[in-house]
Amino acid sequence: MAKPTPVETGFEGLALYPGLLGPAEQRALIEALREGAKAAPPYRPRMPRTGQPWSITQTNFGPLGWFSDERGYRYEPRHPETGEPWPPIPEILLDLWTELGHYPAPPEACLVNIYRGEKAKMGLHQDRDEAALDAPVLSVSLGDTCVFRVGGYERRDKSKSFRLSSGDVLILGGPSRMRFHGVDRIIPGSSQLVEGGGRLNLTLRRVSKPVA
């Protein structure tokens, strides 16, 4: 793995490591995700209350998995369709958390968002369903480049966008942990990593507060 060198983002606590994962590491991670997805196949989440399907599909790795349906947003220990436990988080991601997360407990969830097609996107939102809000969110981009948007602490706050490419690692922590963020669009064909095209976004999260 290359030596971590974050670039300036203009937001305290928002650290971007461009190209931190090299081509070989990206391919190894794709293979680990493909193997894990056999036990936890991607599914399409639905909006709370309305049940409207999202434009992306998802799966999870780790002791807990995040998902959304008519009952709301929450973490659960089992796949919503198969009823089976989620597969373990790949070691390369746990190593990233240890090196960059600077948190005294391991992640409990790795949410995998799968973007395919020009209409796949993610509206501005906060990651706020965790008790351990002092822990960072560590995000890994694989595949097609996306236009990522980050704003303030209210949805209507001024925001700015920048591109995230395959192999980039982003940390939302400290003062930026609760900033609104989202994906405006992906740029189809900007990477050949993902079979059939598209982008995978992996977010490592600590859900529960560590026991003292």
User: Residues 195-206: pLDDT tens digits?
Assistant: 999 999 999 999
Query: What contacts 212, CB < 8 A, 6 or more positions away?
Result: none
The closest of 196, 193, 197, 201 to 26, measured between CA atoms, is 193
Domain for residue 4, yes or no? no
Domain for residue 2, yes or no? no
pLDDT value for 212:
73
Residue 2 has pLDDT above 60, yes or no: no
Domain for residue 112, yes or no? yes
pLDDT value for 66:
97
Q: What is the 3-state secondary structure (H, E, C) of the chain?
A: CCCCCCECCCCCCEEEECCCCCHHHHHHHHHHHHHHHCCCCCECCECCCCCCECCCEEEEECCCEEEEECCEEEEECECCCCCCECCCCCHHHHHHHHHHHCCCCCCCEEEEEEECCCCCCEEEECCCCCCCCCCCEEEEEEECCEEEEECCCCCCCCCEEEEECCCCEEEECHHHCCCCEEEEEECCCCCCCCCCCCEEEEEEECCCCCCC
Domain for residue 8, yes or no? no
Residue 3 has pLDDT above 80, yes or no: no
Domain for residue 139, yes or no? yes
Who has greater pLDDT, 171 or 49? 171
User: Residues 154-181: pLDDT tens digits?
Assistant: 999 999 999 999 999 999 999 999 999 9
Cβ proximity of 136 and 171 under 8 Å: yes
With pLDDT > 90 as the criterion, what percentage of the chain qualifies?
Answer: 94
Q: 10 Å Cβ neighbour count for 62?
A: 25
pLDDT value for 211:
86
Domain for residue 210, yes or no? no
Who has greater pLDDT, 2 or 73? 73
The tally of domains found in the chain comes to 1
Domain for residue 138, yes or no? yes
User: Residues 94-132: pLDDT tens digits?
Assistant: 999 999 999 999 999 999 999 998 889 999 999 999 999
Cβ proximity of 201 and 194 under 8 Å: no
With pLDDT > 70 as the criterion, what percentage of the chain qualifies?
Answer: 99
Q: Rounded to 5 degrees, what are φ and ψ at 10? A: 90, 0
- pTM for this prediction: 0.94
Q: Measured between alpha carbons, how far is 11 from 26 in angstroms, rounded to an integer?
A: 27
Residue 49 has pLDDT above 90, yes or no: no
Q: Measured between alpha carbons, how far is 165 from 170 in angstroms, rounded to an integer?
A: 11
CATH at residue 135: 2.60.120.590
pLDDT value for 117:
85
Domain for residue 130, yes or no? yes
Range of the domain at 70: 14-205
